[in-house]
């Protein structure tokens, strides 16, 4: 099985080994926010809340072939979900173009006999609801990845739309009737804070897409620490991702009120390393 993984297998995944590699494991602006995400947790003091819950959730990831360099798109979702499930890690899946990416993620979660947080890009509400119907049987949470609008190529290719208060409330009301908590993912700007105040989602998810998108400069850690009071007063749960590398980072996120701390690149990297090692043994 030939592989060409785009992860550089750095001793520490801190954003320096894949600068500017997008598609790939890197991000825009020479990985600026990716690097800031990782560095900020090390500098951040602990917040006022209790912490120490040794629990994490897989962040939603797609684009296995173009971004990770995995040998097969479908197999990536099955391998990733299976490995995380074995170690008791909570699950999330995302969507992409084509729709088979979401469908494979749903199938992988079903095969594992699990539930997952399901994140959909900001298409029209009609298209979003159609996709959530596909995922309803495995949906633990349903979320809109509002920051995906800032991926210009994706915005144009998939006809994404910028979500305003009325569109998000419409979605929240739909999922409320289904009994599924509604998540706004990608909260990272003052404009996003206003959306949270007005929509009052079940879950407010602080994220800058792993530093991969064009947005303001900064880290998810500092944004969480500066805005957690306002966010917690306008949602039931607060989540965060971006640059989480150590259990100490997880505990710091929890200390600012995050009930869920999500991890992405380290799991993709570990899966690639496992496959590389398996291939060496076979050969």
pLDDT tens profile 254-271:
999 999 999 999 999 999
Whole-prediction pTM: 0.96
Domain membership of residue 160 (yes or no) is: yes
Domain membership of residue 5 (yes or no) is: no
15: Cβ contacts below 8 Å, ≥ 6 apart? 26, 27, 31, 34, 35, 37, 38, 211, 243
pLDDT given for residue 242 in this prediction: 98
DSSP states of the chain: ----------SS-SSSTTTT-TTTT--HHHHHHHHHHHHHHHHPPP-SS-------EEPP---IIIII--S-HHHHHHHHHHHHHHTT-B-EE---SSTHHHHHHHHHHHHHT--EEEEE-S--HHHHHHHHHHHGGGEEEEEEEGGGGG-HHHHHHHT-----HHHHHHHHHHHHHHT--EEEEEE-SHHHHHHHHHH--SEEEE--GGGTSS--S--HHHHHHHHHHHHHTT-SEEEEESS--SHHHHHHHHHTTEEEEEE-HHHHHHHHHHHHHHHHHH-
pLDDT given for residue 135 in this prediction: 97
Considering only CA atoms, which of 261, 252, 262, 259 is closest in space to residue 47?
252
Domain membership of residue 21 (yes or no) is: no
pLDDT tens profile 68-119:
999 999 999 999 999 999 999 999 999 999 999 999 999 999 999 999 999 9
The CATH number assigned to the domain holding 276 equals: 3.20.20.70
In terms of phi and psi (left: phi > 0; alpha: psi -120 to 50; beta: otherwise), the region of 31 is left
| Edge-to-edge strands, sheet with 116-120 | 57-58, 258-263, 237-241, 203-206, 182-187, 139-145, 116-120, 92-93
Residue 206: give the domain boundaries: 28-282
Domain membership of residue 110 (yes or no) is: yes
Domain membership of residue 256 (yes or no) is: yes
Cβ(214)–Cβ(149) below 8 Å? no
Burial of 83 (0-12, 13-18, 19+ CB in 10 A): middle
pLDDT given for residue 156 in this prediction: 87
Query: Distance between CA 186 and CA 148 in Å, rounded?
Result: 8
In terms of phi and psi (left: phi > 0; alpha: psi -120 to 50; beta: otherwise), the region of 214 is beta
Domain membership of residue 124 (yes or no) is: yes
Both tokens of 79, joined, read 């391998």
Domain membership of residue 37 (yes or no) is: yes
Which stretches of the chain score pLDDT less than 70? 1-3, 277-283
Domain membership of residue 259 (yes or no) is: yes
pLDDT given for residue 280 in this prediction: 46
pLDDT given for residue 189 in this prediction: 98
Both tokens of 71, joined, read 């040998």
* SS3 annotation, 109-127: HHHHCCCEEEEECCCCHHH
Count of domains observed in the chain: 1
């Amino acid at each position: 099985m030939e592989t060409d993984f785009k992860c550089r297998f750095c001793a520490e995944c801190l954003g320096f080994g894949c600068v500017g590699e997008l598609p790939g494991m890197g991000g825009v602006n020479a990985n600026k926010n990716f690097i800031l995400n990782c560095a900020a947790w090390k500098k951040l003091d602990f917040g006022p809340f209790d912490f120490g819950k040794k629990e994490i959730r897989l962040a939603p990831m797609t684009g296995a072939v173009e971004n990770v360099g995995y040998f097969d798109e479908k197999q990536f979702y099955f391998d990733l979900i299976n490995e995380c499930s074995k170690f008791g890690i909570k699950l999330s899946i995302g969507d992409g173009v084509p729709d088979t990416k979401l469908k494979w993620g749903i199938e992988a979660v079903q095969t594992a006999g699990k539930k997952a947080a399901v994140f959909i890009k900001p298409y029209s509400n009609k298209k979003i609801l159609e996709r959530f119907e596909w995922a309803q049987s495995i949906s633990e949470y349903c979320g809109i990845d509002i920051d995906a609008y800032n991926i210009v190529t994706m915005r144009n290719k998939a006809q994404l739309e910028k979500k305003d208060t009325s569109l998000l409330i419409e979605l929240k009301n739909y999922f409320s009737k289904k009994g599924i908590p509604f998540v706004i993912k990608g909260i990272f700007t003052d404009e996003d804070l206003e959306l949270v105040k007005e929509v009052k989602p079940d879950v407010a998810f602080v994220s800058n897409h792993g530093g991969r998108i064009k947005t303001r400069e900064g880290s998810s850690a500092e944004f969480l620490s500066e805005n957690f009071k306002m966010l917690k007063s306008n949602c039931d749960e607060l989540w965060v991702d971006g640059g989480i590398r150590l259990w100490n980072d997880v505990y710091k996120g929890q200390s600012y009120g995050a009930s869920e701390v999500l991890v992405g690149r380290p799991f993709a990297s570990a899966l690639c390393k496992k496959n590389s090692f398996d291939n060496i043994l076979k050969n």
